[in-house]
Amino acid sequence: MVAADKMRARAEAKGTSFLNKDQKLEVYGLMEQGKNGDVNIERPGIFSPIERAKWDAWEKNKGMPKEQAQKRYVELIKGYFKQFGQEDLLAELTG
């Protein structure tokens, strides 16, 4: 089970919500920027709303250096662990 699955299962067991759509898109955008740099594909068309939203999230990070996106991604994920009261899981995953 990956960290996100563990977080989701724990949050659901506590009766709390997990990441909302905007939070997921922010994570996605930083992840892509950290891996690939500036968006390098054409924006999907109107008939692909999910892919278009993901592209837009990535595009928001245009110009951000990969290293900065990676650091921001880690900070964001750590913040979500804390937000969902899962510091113990964070400690387990980071050793």
Q: Is residue 1 over pLDDT 70?
A: no
Q: Which residue has the higher pLDDT, 3 or 10?
A: 10
pTM tops 0.85, yes or no: no
CB-CB contact of 3 with 93 (8 Å): yes
- pLDDT-derived band of residue 82, with 50, 70 and 90 as boundaries? confident
Helix axes 87-94, 66-83, angle to 10 degrees: 140
pLDDT tens digit string along 25-62? 999 999 999 999 999 999 999 999 999 999 999 999 99
